[in-house]
Structure 1
Amino acid sequence: MTADEPSLRVGIDIGGTFTDLSVLDPTGIVAVGKSLTTHGSPAQGVIDALGELLRTHEIHASRIGRLVHGTTLVTNALIERRGARTAMLTTEGFRDVIEMGREHRYDLYDLEIEMPVPLVPRNLRIGVPERILATGQVHVPLDEDRVATVAKEFVAAGVEAVAVCFLHSHMNPEHEQQAREVINDVAPRLRVALSSDINPEVREYERFSTTIANVYVQGVVEDYLAELREGLHTLGVRDAPMIMLSNGGVTAIEVAQRFPIRMLESGPAGGALGAVAFGRRTGDSDLLAFDMGGTTAKLCMIEDAEPLLTHAFEVNRVYKLKPGSGLPVRAPVIDMIEIGAGGGSIARVNSLGLISVGPDSAGSEPGPVCYGQGGDSVTVTDADLVLGLLDSASFLGGRMILDVESSREALRTQIAQPLGITVEDAAWGIHATVNANMADAARVHAIERGRDVDRLPLFVSGGNGPLHGPGVAQALGSPSYIVPPAAGVLSTLGFLAAPPSIDVVRSRYSRLDDSLPRVAEALFGSLEEESAELLESSGVATGDISFARSVEMRFEGQGAEIEVFAPPVTETADWHVELEREFYDAYRRRFGPVAPEGVGVEVLTWRVRATGPDPHQALAFSSTRIADTAVKGRRSAKFGPDTGYQEVNVYDRHLLCPGAEITGPALVEEPESTLVIPPGGHCLVLDDQAIRVELGADKGPTS
């Protein structure tokens, strides 16, 4: 292969505080980078950061053959309400569905409860005469004249986008398609989204909400991706970037522009995929993946070398950990919990006289006090710096010098003095509090899914994951934790380890009887054809596509379903019996050994995941430096509430070769993150350059 052939792969992830980058060739990691996120112009920030990384490492952009990008753009646009002026066209009498929701109070005893505010105000939610029954039969024909009149009224009101959400359109999309044709005729500049395209599933509240959110951010995403594509082309990148989706797959820009709501959790998905990739190499098929960045921390359970998936998500929750307090979205997403606990999370003394951390963050603008950019609220990073766990001179590889004295002063006035404690104890209190918060969230996340996190190894990543992962692991009782190379930018490595993938879905009620195999084969066949077309548009050859089938099932009369992977369809009468057996097994795993007997079972929703070939990307550093010792110096650091500062060795991560061993306490630094090896911990560098730290059996939680 010549030097000019596009052999490099690039991953880029825009986070709330940092933008992460990695460049890989077939042998592994060539370069990584991390820079502060530019919220005012994220696309230009990506171009500038990539350009700087390529110049630093003397890499020409024409060598980039594949670039995968994940971003918080969709999430931020929904939270900040920066989308298009959007209207909703719906069945007459149902315009308040998205405001009534499920009439569920997420806190029964809060008299001043805040409910999520719909993206479309009531005056822009208009009902028109039409009705399709739950069977898919047309009961009342669509009044096309009324649709045309309403579309003109929308234009006069300055509306830019319209969500067409009719009752039971998942069973028969005819009326929604008619409405789109009418709107395109009389108001061709309006962007139109159909709920039967975006989320053809039962439950109108979630379907309407998802469709509105999709079209609300579509213009923002299209403009951003067009700017990014043009900027990359100007930089010298030949091909259009691929986009990371929330389900853990990558897709073409055109698909992402059509379904931007599927990008909602694209960045966090990368961290989980990186955990899967390294877990397969280390033989850890079951893991708890923990990613902590500058703004948030994410936790995800990995089972049998696959992340758990969900198809329901809430964005912009009024209260982060309370289901029902946000806008519902129905889209495939890696199942994880996200809490406001990052390096930039703000610490304070609450009304009970206790230290609390987050969920608000100083972000990158102005950032923690130690950044010296105008931030005046003490943060987790300020505490870690005072504890000696961070080095003021080597942060971001020395490109940003941290002001430790300003951090000490902020800790003294905001935390230590009000509590009557030392600055050092205040710093440890912040460090321990955020660790405990994340451990508690992990337990809740696991319990809600019928799982147990005890004794699971913790896979840590993100700029602050290796720093706080040890405390979280000890609080959870984990036997060990694993830290990959380039942990601070792991999400970008996960992007490059992910195959092209897309999920399609359709709700069709079906009883379990002898006719089910014929129904299943027809439905699955249709979904496979649809998903294959989407993957082929991303450049995947037809022969390289594989399919995974699943269904959502429930007992008759229940209001919720569980997903069951479908066995191969056969024409025998026993197929539905086998499917029912799979359902009972899944039900008992989720809810316990006792399951209802003598109750009918039904299928509500059918799903297909189409996946392209695995990229088989090497994720270790392609070359390592050789030195007489990996020790780069010594530093005084505090590792526990009852210990003073200890002088410990600080190791250069890039000088640790496979087979190297370290006994804690110690610190291991690389430009993007710092790994803490606590007292009693034993570190071993594995063949793929990941580090496994075994925790001493006699060590209790340090938090």
Structure 2
Amino acid sequence: MRIGVDIGGTFTDLCVIGPDGILAVGKTLTTPDEPARAVEEVIAQTLERIDIPARDITGFVHGTTLVTNALIERRGSATALLATQGFRDVLEMAREHRYELHDLMVELPKPLVPRHLRFGVTERTLAGGQIEQPLDTDEVRSLARELTEHGIEAIAIAFLHSFSNDANEQAAREVIEQEAPGIRIALSSKVAPEIREYERTSTTVANVYVQDITERYLADLGERSARLGIPREPHIMLSNGGLATLQTAARFPIRMLESGPAGGALAAAWYGARAGWDDVLAFDMGGTTAKLCMVEGGVPLVNHEFEVDRVYRLSPGSGLPVKVPVIDMIEIGVGGGSIARIDALGLLSVGPRSAGSKPGPACYGLGGTEPTVTDADLVLGYLDPDYFLGGQMALDVSAARTAIEAKIATPLGISVEEAAWGIHSMVNGDMANAARVHAVERGKDPAGLPLFTFGGAGPVHGVGVATALGAAQMIAPPAAGVMSAVGFLTAPVAFDFARSARARLDDVDVAEFQRMFAQMEAEGRDLLTESGVEGSDIEHTRSADLRFEGQGFEVRVPVPDDVTDRWPQSLLEAHHAAYTQLYGAQIPDVPVEVITWRVVSSGPQPEVNLALDDSSSDPTTEPRAHRDVYLPESGFARTPVYERYALPIGANVEGPAIIEERESTIVVTPGATAAVADDYSVVVDLTKEPAHG
């Protein structure tokens, strides 16, 4: 038996699986002041409820928003930066790009290291890796003493072209370790050995900035896990969809940025493949944000650059860049706790500000007074005030109505119900627009993709979003409310490696790049062996970033394992195919060059069964209740409410209907039909026209 635990902005989620499928799920409010406490509580409560001793748990996988929150809230260590002389301001100069060209008051991301803690030191490495100026060790020694005296806790070292030759960075680390043995040090040649000075420096700074808080958290997590009696240390979910040990995650905390959302994307791929859909659009809506991810060919798409703490959430270039592999997704600032308001133009607006878990939506009764998406869904009858979290948490309908009336309905001169529907439908429209852009940018038609919906609020809004996209199906898997935690359990132990080394394809030294791949694969083998993976079970996947000569950005293509005379030609053909899919055109007679070579080292994919193993002993297709639910075509109507896990496999439910489970609720609109699949997923068919009147 294995468990997955995901810390979100509002709730901490848990899933327990055994050989026959999902045994139990759990959910509790996140404890921001002490995140590992909520993890310990939800594990203890759930295992006690299902009468399973902790000693029987053979695996524990965990994902968290800790690193992201620490960067956003600037709660990291006092950090200094050592850069090549003349390059200390790369963090502030960035790309010299205005993400809003015509905004004279444009805000740029604030560097994690202020200027007075950024230092240029004497050294120089050329682009080809030749050392033109050795490191001035006396200068670094003096700086190390001064920084220690002033309470600096961490140092990032990012020298020019160190990805080609890291000798000067290694020399700087040795000097600092001699003079200040207690200080944390991060080398850009270890954290992100790739081209683009700004991104590499930003990533290195971010990594060491959060290292202390991450190490302390992971140590606390390990201690609590051992105290519960779980025999094995937790594995940590990384942003790329792979797992790492506590020790590896503590060394490279920046790799944990999007660990929670990565689990949901993996779950979408798992369920989609078993339902016969290799391409799906995954939609995760929790308490704070919603996320969308493309699954293509049964695998979530991965990007090797990400931005955190954007000044404007949907504006690329307004955040801090990090060059780490992350599952490619778009985040929208709307979740169940997102606050609705009237903006300066007198129009309704929702998010990105969230009520979080404290005080939470007004209906939680924990002191919140602002109207949120959850309050609107409750007023519309989509949520049962007595069955939220299976009745563990009662919701206050009156408080929700009061908040919506005071802040939305009265200022707009409309009814509370109209205001609530406005909030609900605006959220659906915003998410559909973002999903459409995300899919089209990747060469996909969103109308041709099933919408895989999860998160506590996802199934409530899923049919609305799918309808707005023109999608034919919406799928809500079992345990949809804790799907990121479920997805953790499908992930292998894996780690990414990269080396930037520019070369034209028609002049590639194949033997040299074979040696580079072999070096990265050896590092991966060592790392995975330390994590307990058998050497014979380790696989390596090669890829490369290619571009037309003179272009500024690359496309990624697979690199064949077999080296033949056609090796460069096969890369060229793969580049042209990928470029055409993305941009619909080619640039004739322009040479192609390789910029970065990559390896993913991974252990075996775990064999898991994520079908439900907790169906009702008394299956029925009869509704367990009826309640008034708002339908935009006709207003409130008496609507049947079904217990999700009492519905047998093969059951069909005609909309309008509500299908409830402990952690989530599916809203089936008029004209749609919901069917229960073999794994207890609910597949909603949207191809029928809704009845009006």
TM (norm. structure 2) is 0.98
Matches within 5 A, 1:30-429: 30-429=23-422
Match 1:602 to one of 593, 601, 609: 593
Matches within 5 A, 1:395-474: 395-474=388-467
Between the aligned partners of 1:398 and 1:282, the Cα distance in structure 2 is 32
1:549 partnered with 2:549: no
Determine if contact 1:516/1:576 at 8 Å carries over to the other structure. no
Determine if contact 1:369/1:375 at 8 Å carries over to the other structure. yes
Between the aligned partners of 2:49 and 2:560, the Cα distance in structure 1 is 52
Which moves more between the two structures, 317-326 or 647-656? Answer: 647-656
Q: Deviations over 1:206-225 (max 9, x none)?
A: 00000000000011110000
1:618 partnered with 2:603: no
Q: Deviations over 1:458-487 (max 9, x none)?
A: 000000000001100000000011110000
- Residue in structure 2 matched with residue 636 of structure 1 by the alignment: 628
- How far did 1:514 drift? 5.8
- Residue in structure 1 matched with residue 3 of structure 2 by the alignment: 10
Between the aligned partners of 1:156 and 1:216, the Cα distance in structure 2 is 18
- How far did 1:599 drift? 0.5
Code of the aligned partner of 1:493? V
Determine if contact 1:294/1:464 at 8 Å carries over to the other structure. yes
Match 2:672 to one of 678, 681, 695: 681
- How far did 1:699 drift? 4.7
- How far did 1:697 drift? 3.7
Between the aligned partners of 2:346 and 2:416, the Cα distance in structure 1 is 16
- How far did 1:27 drift? 1.1
% identical aligned pairs: 55
- Residue in structure 2 matched with residue 506 of structure 1 by the alignment: 499
Q: Deviations over 1:639-679 (max 9, x none)?
A: 32x32111111111111221111111101111100011111
Between the aligned partners of 2:81 and 2:63, the Cα distance in structure 1 is 29
Determine if contact 1:439/1:475 at 8 Å carries over to the other structure. yes
- How far did 1:449 drift? 2.8
Between the aligned partners of 1:532 and 1:431, the Cα distance in structure 2 is 49
Determine if contact 1:213/1:261 at 8 Å carries over to the other structure. yes
- Residue in structure 2 matched with residue 668 of structure 1 by the alignment: 659
Distance 1:460 1:119, change over 3 A: same
- How far did 1:448 drift? 2.8
Code of the aligned partner of 1:634? H
Determine if contact 1:281/1:688 at 8 Å carries over to the other structure. no
How many corresponding residue pairs? 691
- How far did 1:367 drift? 0.2
Distance 1:496 1:700, change over 3 A: farther
Q: Quote the RMSD (CA, aligned, Å).
A: 1.2
- How far did 1:637 drift? 0.3
- How far did 1:315 drift? 0.2
- How far did 1:239 drift? 1.0
Determine if contact 1:382/1:407 at 8 Å carries over to the other structure. yes
- How far did 1:403 drift? 0.4
Between the aligned partners of 1:565 and 1:700, the Cα distance in structure 2 is 49
Determine if contact 1:474/1:700 at 8 Å carries over to the other structure. no
Between the aligned partners of 1:700 and 1:263, the Cα distance in structure 2 is 47
Which residues of structure 2 form unaligned runs of 5+?
none
Between the aligned partners of 1:352 and 1:474, the Cα distance in structure 2 is 29
Between the aligned partners of 1:534 and 1:697, the Cα distance in structure 2 is 52
- How far did 1:498 drift? 1.0
Match 1:656 to one of 647, 650, 653: 647
Determine if contact 1:475/1:700 at 8 Å carries over to the other structure. no
Secondary structure (helix, strand or coil) at the match of 1:513 reads helix
Secondary structure (helix, strand or coil) at the match of 2:182 reads coil
Secondary structure (helix, strand or coil) at the match of 2:80 reads strand
Q: Deviations over 1:170-197 (max 9, x none)?
A: 0000010011000000010110010000
Q: Deviations over 1:126-176 (max 9, x none)?
A: 111000000100001100000000011111121000001100000000010
Distance 1:628 1:264, change over 3 A: closer
Between the aligned partners of 2:455 and 2:614, the Cα distance in structure 1 is 22
Which residues of structure 1 form unaligned runs of 5+?
1-7
Which moves more between the two structures, 52-61 or 485-494? Answer: 52-61
Secondary structure (helix, strand or coil) at the match of 2:653 reads strand
Secondary structure (helix, strand or coil) at the match of 2:552 reads coil
Which moves more between the two structures, 338-347 or 562-571? Answer: 562-571
- How far did 1:260 drift? 0.5
Between the aligned partners of 2:194 and 2:459, the Cα distance in structure 1 is 40
Code of the aligned partner of 2:462? G
Determine if contact 2:36/2:221 at 8 Å carries over to the other structure. yes
Match 2:583 to one of 574, 588, 591: 591
TM (norm. structure 1) is 0.97
Determine if contact 2:619/2:648 at 8 Å carries over to the other structure. no
Match 1:523 to one of 516, 526, 543: 516
Between the aligned partners of 1:449 and 1:625, the Cα distance in structure 2 is 41
Distance 1:694 1:127, change over 3 A: same
Between the aligned partners of 2:284 and 2:564, the Cα distance in structure 1 is 46
Between the aligned partners of 1:146 and 1:623, the Cα distance in structure 2 is 65
